[in-house]
Amino acid sequence: MFDQELFDDARREFLSHLRYSKGHRPTTCYAYNSDLGIWGTWLVEAGKDWQTVKYPDVEQFAAWQLRDRGISPAIVNRRLSALSTFYRWLMRGGIVDQDPVALAQKPKRPLRIPVWLEKEEQAQLEATIRDRRNIPINVFGHNQKRMTETRRRYEMLFGLLLNSGLRISEALGLKVSDVRLVEGIAKSVRVIGKGNKERWVPLPAAFAQVFGFWLKDRPRTEAVFAKADGKPISPQAARAYLRGMLKKAGIEKKISPHKLRHTYATNLLNAGAELVDIKALLGHESVATTQIYTNVGQERMEKVVGRL
């Protein structure tokens, strides 16, 4: 029999553990909460007890999502991973005897090849962002000076993503104090990534000079990408602005800020970087996550073959 009250109590304590003991971001906790809610609803409808389920029940749950709800294998696997984390935590607390996800067969994920900008496309996008002639004189009452400052801010944001591989949330969370400035040059940035893990990402020399000059004389406590009113840019605004720049540049690929991260990783691979180095720079927990970029290093492979 499904004890809803006990399940809800366990879920709340688990989410509190993730947030305050493990240091997960609120958005991550929201995702876990949603996944566990879907699991609980399915168990009630299927007449199963959350404390005594076995791996065939997990497989039925996965099949229901794939077949009846049309959920992608990637999302189903993410939900199963969330369930496994939940049940392992329950096991440590003596609330359940086993993790029912451990022996369950997982949906096969299709090969996922990341989307990125080719070097010519990257140069085209950067040239379009730098071109101040394509800024309208007046839009929604904004004067050209203010819109030029906005363009410069996004130029630095997208430039940072292309030259550091930061996640958009990581970039927008930066303060000026997180940038290591040496004689006006931005040598590296301090990033607090997933799981509250810190990493330092070095910046290429050319961008380091431009970025450092842009940050000159800014208060150390100020957000790097704060708007004129002091509030930070939202991820949604950044995605919308990037779409506008891609359209002006005549690039039809569906490129998001996260795809600029893919572009950075692909450029590193083509430059001869090892996967372990790319993993560290991107802040991946496992090199298995980084291995998706082995599918896109064609330019590097052509150069290797060319030496024969």
Residue 22's CATH number: 1.10.150
Q: In the 8-state DSSP scheme, what is residue 19?
A: I
Q: Are 128 and 134 in contact (CB under 8 A)?
A: yes
Question: Is 87 considered catalytic here?
Answer: no
Instruction: Identify the burial level of 300 via C-beta atoms within 10 angstroms of its C-beta, where 0-12 means exposed, 13-18 middle and 19 or more buried.
Output: middle
What is the rounded CA–CA span in Å between residue 62 and residue 45?
15
pLDDT at 197 (0 to 100): 81
Same domain, 154 and 249: yes
* pLDDT by residue, tens only, the chain of 308 residues: 678 899 999 999 999 999 998 888 888 899 999 999 999 999 999 999 999 999 999 999 999 999 989 999 989 999 999 999 999 999 999 999 999 999 999 988 766 667 889 999 999 999 999 998 888 766 555 577 888 899 999 999 999 999 999 999 999 999 999 999 999 999 999 998 777 788 999 999 999 999 999 999 899 999 999 988 888 899 999 999 999 999 999 999 999 999 999 999 989 888 888 888 888 888 887 666 676 666 555 555 555 555 55
Same domain, 178 and 250: yes
Tokens of 278: 């790319």
Q: Are 257 and 161 in contact (CB under 8 A)?
A: yes
pLDDT at 39 (0 to 100): 96
- Among 194, 218, 227, 259, the active-site one is 194
pLDDT at 205 (0 to 100): 95
Domain final residue pick, 92, 110, 145? 92
Question: Is 258 considered catalytic here?
Answer: yes
Same domain, 78 and 144: no
Same domain, 136 and 38: no
Same domain, 52 and 170: no
Same domain, 68 and 132: no
- Among 261, 262, 264, 279, the active-site one is 261
Tokens of 64: 């229901």
Question: Is 167 considered catalytic here?
Answer: yes
Is the residue at 296 inside a domain? no
pLDDT at 41 (0 to 100): 94
Question: Is 284 considered catalytic here?
Answer: yes
CATH number for the domain spanning 142: value is: 1.10.443.10
Domain final residue pick, 209, 233, 254? 254
CA nearest neighbour of 199 among 92, 283, 86: 283
What is the rounded CA–CA span in Å between residue 55 and residue 6?
21
Total count of domains within the chain: 2
Q: Are 122 and 263 in contact (CB under 8 A)?
A: yes
Is the residue at 74 inside a domain? yes
Is the residue at 278 inside a domain? no
Same domain, 80 and 127: no
Is the residue at 297 inside a domain? no
- Among 142, 152, 190, 258, the active-site one is 258
Torsion-angle region of residue 135: left (phi > 0), alpha (psi -120 to 50) or beta? Answer: beta
CA nearest neighbour of 36 among 13, 65, 8: 8
Domain final residue pick, 92, 127, 142? 92
Is the residue at 104 inside a domain? no
Is the residue at 288 inside a domain? no
Is the residue at 192 inside a domain? yes
Same domain, 123 and 194: yes
Long-range contacts of the stretch 247-256 (C-beta < 8 A, 24+)? 248/128, 248/134, 249/121, 249/124, 249/125, 249/127, 249/128, 250/124, 251/117, 251/121, 251/124, 251/125, 253/115, 253/117, 253/121, 254/115, 255/115, 255/117
What is the rounded CA–CA span in Å between residue 44 and residue 181?
56
- Among 151, 153, 167, 262, the active-site one is 167
Is the residue at 236 inside a domain? yes
Same domain, 205 and 244: yes
> Cα 270–275–280 angle (5° rounding)?
115
Give me the domain span that covers residue 14: 4-92
Question: Is 152 considered catalytic here?
Answer: no
